[in-house]
Amino acid sequence: MNEKIKKRVLAEALYMIETKKTLRELAKVFNVSKSTVHKDLKEKLKTIDNDLYHQVTLILTEHLKIRHIRGGLSTKKKYLKIANNSVKK
């Protein structure tokens, strides 16, 4: 594996462990696609550092458990913004 890719994968893993950010947020920070981050953390990390892989897997599992809540909050925020904009006019 390319050394540059290894460094990116480790940086993504450490950043996720430190901040608990989602795959989409990590993708923005590291300027790569969500798919790339997912592949890095689910496949490549396992061959690089198994301990980090297990820590990241726990975080990803937690994100999966609460994704329906995040989606609901995003929708609520969207419609509150729309309502506030229509009141201001």
Q: Which regions in the chain score pLDDT beneath 70?
A: 88-89
76 token code pair: 């609520």
77 token code pair: 């925020």
CA 4 → CA 9, 11, 50, 68, 86, distances in Å? 9, 11, 19, 35, 49
Predicted confidence at residue 73, as pLDDT, reads 75
